[in-house]
């Protein structure tokens, strides 16, 4: 679980993957706002930190919060126009904390 969170967070924090702009657009944030405010780095860094915290302190409440976070973020995919199977395909990442 920690590896998935760190790896996924790196897509935003380090690689600044362009597909993330579409996910933020679903939340009402324009590409220019996301780029200028460093939201990709902030959210990606937070997900990396969450992965490391989960690795060191796998407390049940934190794991439930992590599962909710993954479900929320992965639901942005179909909302951004990606096929629903992109959400289903990542089910293991969403239920792993549970």
Q: What is the per-residue pLDDT for 97?
A: 86
- Above 90 in pLDDT, residue 71? yes
pLDDT mean across residues, the chain: 91
Cα torsion angle, 81, 83, 89, 91, sign: positive
CB atoms within 10 A of CB 66: 25
Which of the four pLDDT bands, split at 50, 70 and 90, describes residue 27? very high
What is the pTM assigned to this prediction? 0.86
Percent of the residues in the chain that have a pLDDT greater than 90, as a whole number: 68
Q: What is the per-residue pLDDT for 82?
A: 92
- Above 90 in pLDDT, residue 12? no
Q: 44 near 10, Cβ under 8 Å?
A: yes
Six-digit token pair at 97? Answer: 């904390």
């Amino acid at each position: 679980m920690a590896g998935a969170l760190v790896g996924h967070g790196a897509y935003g924090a380090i690689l600044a993957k362009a597909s993330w702009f579409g996910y933020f657009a679903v939340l009402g944030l324009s590409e220019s706002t996301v780029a200028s405010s460093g939201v990709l780095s902030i959210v990606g860094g937070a997900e990396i930190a969450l992965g490391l915290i989960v690795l060191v302190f796998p407390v049940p409440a934190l794991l439930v919060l992590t599962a909710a976070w993954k479900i929320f973020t992965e639901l942005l995919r179909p909302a951004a126009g990606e096929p629903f199977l992109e959400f289903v395909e990542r089910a293991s990442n969403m239920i792993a904390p549970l």
